Amino acid sequence: MPRPPLLSVVIPCYNERATVAELLRRVREVPVEKEIIVIDDRSTDGSRDVVAALAQQWPEIRHILQPVNQGKGAAIQRPLWASTSTKDPSYHDVFYAESLIGRDSIITMPEQTIRAFEDHGEVTPNALEQGVEEAARTIQDLADAGIDLHCVAWQLEHEGIKQFTDAFDRAHREVEDKRHHAVSKAAAA
């Protein structure tokens, strides 16, 4: 039986000792399958100890300590990989899901990719950090061949955005058509 989707609640924390326990209690009470990721940006008021104690009691809490205070907003800046299904049939169906596994990163997957990964995906810890030197050489080889990686990235970004906006527009039109049909049908009755 398929597991329900898991919600990741990311909570940045810096010197929140007075409120963090109550906040975590309230988030924990929301009746949905979830993990609670608290990213402590080097608190100095004891927040770290409060969260650590709660994480010992509540297994759904994952406590990440920043090595240094990185300032407002930095605590939640983590890689978020999206649109990770394999579009090219010549690629392994979990190619991106396997290769984008990394420390403190988040990957979103469509249900088909989740099922495939559950069936035959392999977890390589910090796969994302492997082959970095080879990737740097490849990037340099592309530049040497006259390929402007910034232009390629720009094109891919804009093509991807267009695909998402086109899909959104189609869905919006379908909802509007169904609403119009329902209103017309009700008016005729």
- pLDDT tens by residue, 145-172: 999 988 998 998 888 888 888 888 998 9
Q: Which residues of 107-131 are buried (b: 16+ CB within 10 A; e: fewer)?
A: bebeeebbebbeeebeeeeeebeee
| Contact present, 56 and 24 (Cβ < 8 Å) | no
What distance separates the 2 farthest-apart alpha carbons in the chain?
70
pLDDT tens per residue across span 131-150: 889 988 999 999 999 999 88
Q: What pLDDT was estimated at residue 9?
A: 85
- Helices (H), ranges, 58-121: 95-99, 111-120
DSSP state of 81: E
Average pLDDT, the chain: 86
| Contact present, 64 and 91 (Cβ < 8 Å) | no
Q: Which residues contact 50 (CB under 8 A, 6 or more apart)?
A: 17, 20, 21
| Calpha distance 41→12 (Å, rounded) | 7
* This prediction's pTM: 0.46
